[in-house]
Chains A and B, each alone.
Chain A
């Protein structure tokens, strides 16, 4: 039976199984002493934003999606968003300094917003920030990850830009639950068993980590790398040539694994393991907007395989094809359903830790893909770029987010300091550029 509290006319919207995964991760991040699973999606804007029209649109946004104005509430073992019907917060900041230091000040402001700690039960799950500068304005959407996933955040911008806002109505249900309820109990058990096998298979090799992890407060830092159109088209051609059309994300993952080996990992075990989200939404679908609708996949390779570029990509493609053929891409859904009844502490440790006790994920990864908006204009200003930010657990303390905008590839390195240093990230970046453009010799040579 599908959760009826997910329908938008109910003032209490229960977290779906995928939201609960992100709530457990939020709990883990806070336990590490950090601000929680704050995420950011920012538009770089050239020209003045029409503030009157934008603020009017925020009122409309909240009317259309009332649970954007809510607080996290716990009822027994159930967590959900309780509507409070207040305006969506919108803050304005002005960058300081002269033209040369202004961009840096905007960047620091962005980071301070994401690093700001507030108790989850009193924090607004979503707000907007305009960081004004003389060269460029940055409009940041900051949200708590249990509220919605990155695809949903993009859809909120699409909604604000849309001339047909009624498209973003309906299907306000969990795609994870929809799929789960499509299966019989017997099928769910069979799929859960596959999930356990998948997990055991991943845990057979202990993961390398870029940091051993430290106790105490960390600060999120972010370095953005942009490729020009020519470099991007070269990288995409290399990806197609190396892994074929069906596996483009694996090209990024493989190159990242090799770059991490080149830069050196603080904790070397058996393999590099890269978990990544698999979104159950249909690409380009306007709904559902709210909630998380993701399951998890893993790419994993032992050192000897990573060290040979050709064998690495063959291994990753084969591993991925086997994962899909065996139906392992859905195999964690029944476990996510069970997870809703676990304590956040227990659930968090299961999500993160291998059977040996080490952290499962060597690095967080996302391939956001090509970001397209219906218009280049956003309330009178021209969209010139996008940025992605996410706070994460320590370890691994390091997330690499790939995206494309206006035909140009970008990489956002999100990392926790002091766990990870700028110097190490620069080493990874340099090696990754070589790997993506295929200008580096085999590691074994």
Chain B
């Protein structure tokens, strides 16, 4: 199942703003781009619902949510 496409769509239309979605890199810093603590929780709920995973609150660390690629890695870790 493709995780990155729906995740990118959700993050870049709901949680952070960028002038051109297509130009936002998968390694760009989401926290620098403005993702706040409420956004992080919203993201976790989205991932749990869409990808049928459980993402423990205790694992919410900068390294897990820093970029689209980091998020994909974190979700895939819990899909195993």
What residues make up the interface of A, taking CB atoms closer than 8 Å to B? 167, 244-249, 278, 282-286, 317, 320-321, 324-325, 369
Contacts and interface: CB of A to CB of B under 8 A. Distances in A.
Given A286-B17, A325-B45, 11 more contacts: A244-B57, A245-B40, A245-B61, A246-B37, A246-B41, A246-B44, A282-B14, A282-B16, A283-B17, A284-B16, A285-B17
Nearest to A247: B37
Interface string B28-56: 00000111111111101100000000000
Contacts of A245: 37, 40, 60-62, 65
A201 to B, nearest CB: 19
Nearest to A164: B19
Contacts of A369: 36
Nearest to A327: B45
A317 B65 CA distance: 18
B15 interface: yes
A278 B39 CA distance: 11
Contacts of A244: 57-58, 60
DSSP majority for the B interface? helix
A247 B41 contact: yes
B40 A324 contact: no
Contacts of A246: 37, 40-41, 44, 57, 60
Nearest to A287: B17
Interface residues of B, number: 24
28 contacts: A167-B19, A244-B58, A244-B60, A245-B37, A245-B40, A245-B60, A245-B61, A245-B65, A246-B37, A246-B40, A246-B57, A246-B60, A247-B41, A249-B37, A282-B16, A282-B17, A282-B34, A283-B17, A283-B33, A283-B36, A283-B39, A284-B33, A284-B34, A321-B57, A324-B41, A324-B42, A325-B45, A369-B36
A325 B42 CA distance: 9
Contacts of A321: 41, 57
Nearest to A251: B37
Contacts of A282: 13-17, 34
Interface string B48-80: 000000000110111001000000000000000
Contacts of B40: 245-246
Given A247-B41, A325-B45, A283 B35 contact: yes
Contact of A324 (B19, B36, B45, B61): B45
B37 A248 contact: yes
A224 to B, nearest CB: 23
Contacts of B17: 282-286
B14 A278 contact: no
Contacts of A283: 15-17, 33-36, 39
A247 B40 CA distance: 9
B32 to A, nearest CB: 10
A-B interface, 4 closest residue pairs, ranked by CB to CB distance from nearest: A283-B34, A285-B17, A284-B34, A282-B17
Interface in B4-20: 13-17, 19
Contacts of A167: 19
Contacts of B41: 246-247, 320-321, 324
A47 B44 CA distance: 46
Nearest to B65: A245
B37 to A, nearest CB: 4
A294 to B, nearest CB: 12
Nearest to B43: A246
A288 to B, nearest CB: 12
A177 B34 CA distance: 24
A282 B62 CA distance: 20
B68 to A, nearest CB: 15
A324 B39 CA distance: 11
B20 to A, nearest CB: 12
A333 B62 CA distance: 32
B54 to A, nearest CB: 11
B17 to A, nearest CB: 4
